Amino acid sequence: MNELCGRLESFIDGELEPVDAENFRHHLTQCHACETRMKELLALELLADDALHAPPEPVIAAPPPSRLPRRKRWLMVVPLALAAGLAAWVLVTRPTSSSEASELWLGQSPGRTLEARLTHPGADRHRPYEVMRSGGGKVPGLSLRELAKLEEAGDHRGIAAAYLLRGDTTQAGAFLDKMPASPDQDSDRAALALERGAPEEALALADKALGARPGHPQALWNRALALKTLGLSLQAAEAFDQAAALKEPGWSEEAARRADELRRREEEQRKGWKGLKEDCDRMVGGDGLLSPRQVDTWPGMSRLCLYDALRAAPSAERVMALRPLALQLDRIDGGTHLEDAVQRVARADFTTRAPLAQAYLRLTRGALKPPDRQLLLTKLRDARQEDILLGALLFTPDAGQDAATYRELALATRDPWFAMLAEERGARGELQHGQPYRARERLTAAVKSLCGPERAFNYRCVDLQRNLALVEFQLHLPIEARAHALAAMERARAGNEWFKELQLIHELGMVARAHADLSLTRAYLEEALSRTPERCQDREPAYTNLALAHYLAFDFAGAREQLDRAARCDQPPSLARAFVMADLAHTEARRDDDAALLMRGLEAKRASPSLAAGEGPLLRHIEGRFVVEQDRERGQALLRQAIAEAAPLVGADVNARKARVYSYTSLIMDAAKHGEHERALALFAEEQGLPVPERCTLGVTVDDERTALVARDAGGHLLGHYASDRRRTLTSVEGLVPARFEDALRGCPRVDVLARPPVLGQAGLLSPDLAWTYRVSSRPVPETPRPERRLVVADVSAPPSLRLPALRPWRSADADGPDVATLRGAAATPTHVLEAMREATEVQIHAHGVIDPSVADGSLLVLSPEEDGTYALTATDLQGQRLAGRPVVVLAACHAAHSARYFHETFGLPLAFVDAGARAVLAATQEIPDAEASEFFEPVLARIRAGVPAAIVLRDARQDWLRRPGGTWVAQVLLFE
């Protein structure tokens, strides 16, 4: 009990100030003692109230009730009520009168204050929606008497509705939690999410309700509101149409009005933007000007058009005709950049400039072939027409080409528009040349320094943030990608950039797919499809992403439906669509006519002049993955060919790495499916460059709905398992290995686990009483032992900005030994640690481990900062390093074994250490108690130094600690060798 409990009676009597009363309501939802006591007091008050209002019986003399405080009245009458017997308890649950119910559901108000719909019948009467503003009428308070009756009746839905109608989302949520799972609960939760400003959550909940009960009226309504809040106007209109079709009095009419209004607004925006685009094309061609209203409404697109019109202008007179637009746009964005540009171009020698301007106009119309485009660039350089050159360089497919020239020209203009373009183009070039992290760093800095809240140069800031989101999407950072895409969307809508909004809607659909959020993916991508009715071929990316989203949700029939929609456009399948077609080949959703369509797409892609090196093996894999389900021998040959073609490229090309890994996946699954366990085990070993294990080995891999395992026990006997019944995303590997496998492996002194992404690096794969290790490299340990050189990194000075608690000072009995080197305090920087590790035979790092996707995939180690502030040691930092001492590495840091797991690779610190040369790495996937780290790891290291196999040492230590109170964290410590 705390001090708030003493305020219960004052709360019931209405004696608390409004702020105190609100605080007590929040306390009441969490205090069982107060909740129980309140029920008792309310029951007594109701009994007393009934006794006071009964016909008077002169039993005792007492002052008139109206002259006493409320609480004193019921305290004096309690003896009378108790004397009447316990039968009076039924008064607590007597029916509510119609006037009381009307007040509870705000039924006396002419309008409703909640835009969403609730499922409780008393709260779902239609009235016009009224937006409440400050100074408006007060919402009547809740009657505690009526709440008590609802509580006694177990009507938690009614209580939640009463609170939600009054805007109390905390109390409403607490009572919705008490409801049993049902479509009604999901719909009311959607209404709650809308009130909390969480439309994505509301959409998922409404879809869940509709999935269980199609046509659920309140869920349909709440789904429409969620879509409207997300800015998906056409999808919202369609949902309101479905609500209108239910013909509910009042609700249907309002739904129809809302649908019409949403469509009207979207059509006005689309027509306005398309009209601007047509007028822009005419202006660039020398015919007419944009109107002042158009410039005010679409300043970003208008500025882009003005630049092109200046470049294409054939005379000084035409240039000066553009001056009013330049002045208007300078007022909007600030500065005199456009006015200066007009004056500068007007002074040019048009004898030289006019033919180049005409050629630039043809370039913007797509009428110049690549050789002519290169010739134009040469002429522009020779003629020193830098402003036209700036525009022409943007039509070069390779953004990395002439990157330095473009940047120099852009910055020389001193126009922020071109400074932003220089960063955007530089990032695109880095991305095209396999440097996504540099691209992300560049774009992050540009957004921070060039895009403030004042909305100047909004058009360019939209593209900077949008490109940052796309880079983060490629780097498998969906949370960050979504945040930047939403920020870009906000800017696009503020600038009325209809087309950029359309692009972002599609890209947010892709990000939602990466989040495995099927509801949100469908909402965004169906909206994109609704907004692009003109050309069927423009819709293929949306159809393909929808198909992939359904496939990843194990809805293979839904994926088939989306592929069929794409096929109606009669275009060769894109690389992404071909991938989905190959994936469906091993499901019931495959089609006999898929083969011809797939080959058409693969041949078109192979014939493309823009085919990247790593895409060739990937196309071969797709063909093999598809064919192996119909013709095993030919499919296996194609997959083998893909592996061979990828081999020389895997070090530098992510598509080649994907082709190799995915091809091994298909070969292993094919062998396991047909019971060829020996062949499956050989493939596990071959992929890692190992000889085929003769005993005590487990191979495990998953591929969407399929699982394949093969094991060899201590006697060399083979066990195999294949299943294709998974219907949800693999989030944990606990229970993945059948009990019969573990039983067979118990006779092994230790088990080498050959796990593939995304299983590799996850804790809980095998029971803690088994000695096992993730085997991740074939590099042999040198037979000649090296002199022992131990390195300890401890007492790190973490950057104060991280606000990390100080770790306990590291102490060890042999810390001062001649073979022990320590890096402490400010000396323990990433650079010093990397240098000191190269010759070490044992490495201990006692530091904080942090998961920060903005800094690194997987986890990172927080070390002391360098002079430039760099403090993180990441898996990327270890790439290219050579640990000549082949050390045993202990990462005594929280989350140090946390890895980024993709379908084609697992990326994190343990694997990076092994790749750099470590012979064994011990690390935990979760938090490590600071007080216990040294006590656990130092005896483990001592036994490993003595020659005991690391897997056995870890198993024994883990078993000992699991017997201790609170020692369960050791189950998350993994061994990589």
Residue with tokens 């109107």: 291
**Residue type at position 324:** P
Phi and psi torsions of 719, nearest 5°: -130, 145
CB 678 within 8 A of CB 718: yes
Q: How many Å apart are CA 223 and CA 595, to the nearest integer?
A: 39
Q: Partners of 723 in the beta sheet?
A: 707
- pLDDT of 85 > 80? The answer is no
Residue with tokens 């669509």: 577
CB 390 within 8 A of CB 406: yes
Peptide bond into 609 cis (omega under 30): no
pLDDT at 168: 86
Phi and psi torsions of 753, nearest 5°: -100, 120
Rounded to an integer, the average pLDDT of 709-718 is 96
pLDDT at 149: 75
**Residue type at position 247:** K
The CA–CA distances, whole Å, from 668 to 621, 707, 721 equal: 14, 10, 12
Rounded to an integer, the average pLDDT of 388-404 is 85
Q: How confident is the model at residue 234 (pLDDT cuts 50, 70, 90)?
A: very high
Q: How confident is the model at residue 49 (pLDDT cuts 50, 70, 90)?
A: very low
CA dihedral 636, 737, 891, 898 (to 10 degrees): 70
pTM for the whole structure: 0.78
pLDDT at 609: 81
Rounded to an integer, the average pLDDT of 164-192 is 92
Percent of residues, the chain, with pLDDT higher than 90: 56
Q: Which of 662-676, 805-819, 839-853 has the lowest mean pLDDT?
A: 805-819
Rounded to an integer, the average pLDDT of 276-293 is 94
Element (H, E) at 447: helix 436-450
Q: Which two tokens stand for residue 473?
A: 């999407």
The CA–CA distances, whole Å, from 367 to 358, 371, 372, 392, 832 equal: 11, 12, 9, 13, 57
- pLDDT of 83 > 70? The answer is no
First vs last C-alpha separation in the chain: 53
Q: How many Å apart are CA 598 and CA 543, to the nearest integer?
A: 16
pLDDT at 262: 97
Q: What is the pLDDT of residues 764-818, one digit of tens each?
A: 999 999 999 999 876 665 656 778 899 989 888 888 887 777 777 777 766 667 7
3-state helix vs strand vs coil in the chain, percent to 5: 55, 10, 35
Rounded to an integer, the average pLDDT of 10-38 is 66
Phi and psi torsions of 695, nearest 5°: -165, 165
- pLDDT of 828 > 80? The answer is yes
Rounded to an integer, the average pLDDT of 680-703 is 94
Q: How many Å apart are CA 467 and CA 425, to the nearest integer?
A: 10
Q: How confident is the model at residue 320 (pLDDT cuts 50, 70, 90)?
A: very high
pLDDT at 28: 67
Q: How confident is the model at residue 699 (pLDDT cuts 50, 70, 90)?
A: very high
Neighbours of 191 (CB within 10 A): 31
Picking from 152, 496, 488, the residue whose alpha carbon sits closest to that of residue 299 is 496
- pLDDT of 29 > 90? The answer is no
Q: How confident is the model at residue 314 (pLDDT cuts 50, 70, 90)?
A: very high
Residue 974's SS3 state is strand
Q: Which two tokens stand for residue 262?
A: 């949403």
Neighbours of 863 (CB within 10 A): 27
Picking from 411, 478, 468, 477, the residue whose alpha carbon sits closest to that of residue 445 is 468
pLDDT at 700: 97
Neighbours of 185 (CB within 10 A): 21
- pLDDT of 639 > 60? The answer is yes
pLDDT at 95: 42
pLDDT at 140: 60
Q: Which of 101-115, 418-432, 936-950 has the lowest mean pLDDT?
A: 101-115
Q: How confident is the model at residue 80 (pLDDT cuts 50, 70, 90)?
A: very low
- More confident call, 625 vs 786: 625
Q: How many Å apart are CA 198 and CA 768, to the nearest integer?
A: 41
Q: Which of 16-30, 142-156, 232-246, 445-459 has the lowest mean pLDDT?
A: 16-30
Q: What is the pLDDT of residues 889-928, one digit of tens each?
A: 988 877 665 555 555 556 678 888 888 899 999 988 888 8
- pLDDT of 454 > 90? The answer is no
pLDDT at 171: 87
- pLDDT of 60 > 50? The answer is no
Q: Partners of 906 in the beta sheet?
A: 901
Residue with tokens 């330049």: 326
Q: What is the pLDDT of residues 495-554, one digit of tens each?
A: 999 999 999 999 999 999 888 889 999 999 999 999 987 778 788 899 999 999 999 889
3-state secondary structure 146-212: HHHHHHHCCCHHHHHHHHHHCCCHHHHHHHHCCCCCCHHHHHHHHHHHHHCCCHHHHHHHHHHHHHH
pLDDT at 223: 98
- More confident call, 540 vs 241: 241
Rounded to an integer, the average pLDDT of 251-273 is 96
CB 903 within 8 A of CB 960: no
The chain-wide mean pLDDT, for the chain, equals 85
pLDDT at 421: 94
Q: Which of 212-216, 272-276, 563-567, 808-812 has the lowest mean pLDDT?
A: 808-812
Angle between helices 323-333 and 299-312 (to 10 degrees): 140
CB 920 within 8 A of CB 886: no
- More confident call, 136 vs 851: 851
- More confident call, 647 vs 27: 647
Percent of residues, the chain, with pLDDT higher than 70: 85
CB 733 within 8 A of CB 762: yes
Of the ranges 230-244, 454-468, 560-574, the best mean pLDDT one? 230-244
Q: What is the pLDDT of residues 729-749, one digit of tens each?
A: 888 899 999 999 999 999 999
Q: Which two tokens stand for residue 181?
A: 């799972």
pLDDT at 712: 96
Q: Partners of 348 in the beta sheet?
A: none
